[in-house]
Amino acid sequence: MDNKLSVVIITKNEESKILDAIKSVNFAAEIVIIDSGSSDRTCEIAREAGAVVIHQDWLGYGEQKNMGVSHTKNDWVMVLDADERVTKELKNEIEMTLLKPIKNGYFIPRRNFFFGKLIRFCGLYPDYSLRLFKKDKGHFVNTSVHERVIIEGKPGHLINPMLHLAYESVSEFTKKQKKYASLSDKKFNLIKAILSPIWVFLKIYFFRLGLFDGWRGLVISFVYARYTFWKYTNEYFNYKV
């Protein structure tokens, strides 16, 4: 069976990242870009690199990706973010897996880079995410943030990781977490807003050994704790980013 692969990438103003993302998956039979209104050269760069570019006003993370999947031509789909890269080793593993797939979908581990360095602890590896799946057997859950794929049957796990160039600066990281919190549907809860951030910090920094990632581990632990506070207070404060 010819299990050709389509890759879907959602974008908005990703001109500094999109070319390398596309190059990393140039082994795919098709690359579809779903752009939600870039004002920079993202779309132009993607077209020049051979991708199909489709405009779609923002629907939310899950629905935006589902829409992208619906525009693909092949049975198997991989969904990539503009700040992610498929390594040569992962490319080879994907190609070998699709020669004779035994699952309807596969989790892929990620190596996360924060502020220019690989994060080895903080609970950020292997950071599995289900990204490779058979189109008629899976879909993204329609959530406003932290979308995920569900498939029919039990998924498999690939070994080789993709690279995630997550955040270049602390301010970018903080701004993105506040944006995620602003999309949260959590009800205002003062007790959880006070206690949960403390637990999140302790969990990431001590129990998940974030202290061994140096100052980056401290920042990551603190910002995720702040995100937890923002998430439980957004209904009251209505954060805007």
- What per-residue confidence (pLDDT) applies to 154? 98
| Shared domain check, 212 and 96 | no
| Shared domain check, 131 and 149 | yes
Q: Which two tokens stand for residue 115?
A: 């502020």
Mean pLDDT of the chain: 95
Percent of the chain whose predicted confidence (pLDDT) is above 90: 91
Helix (H) or strand (E) holding 80: strand 76-81
* Domain end point (choices 120, 147, 166): 166
pLDDT of 185 strictly over 90: no
Question: What band does 241 get if pLDDT is binned at 50, 70 and 90?
Answer: low
C-alpha span between 73 and 116 (Å, rounded)? 36
| Shared domain check, 224 and 124 | no
* Domain end point (choices 166, 191, 209): 166
| Shared domain check, 60 and 14 | yes
Buried (b) or exposed (e) across 179-217, using 16+ Cβ within 10 A?
A: ebbbbbeeeeeeebbeebbeebbebbbeebebeebeebb
Letter for the amino acid at 234?
Answer: N
| Shared domain check, 174 and 73 | no
> Tell me, what DSSP letter sits at residue 204?
I
- What per-residue confidence (pLDDT) applies to 238? 79
Q: Give the torsion sign (CA, 83, 87, 93, 95).
A: positive
As beta bridge partners, residue 53 has: 33
> Which residue range is the domain that position 43 belongs to?
5-166
pLDDT tens figures, 202-223: 999 999 999 999 999 999 999 9
| Shared domain check, 195 and 142 | no
What's the whole-number mean pLDDT along residues 165-193?
94
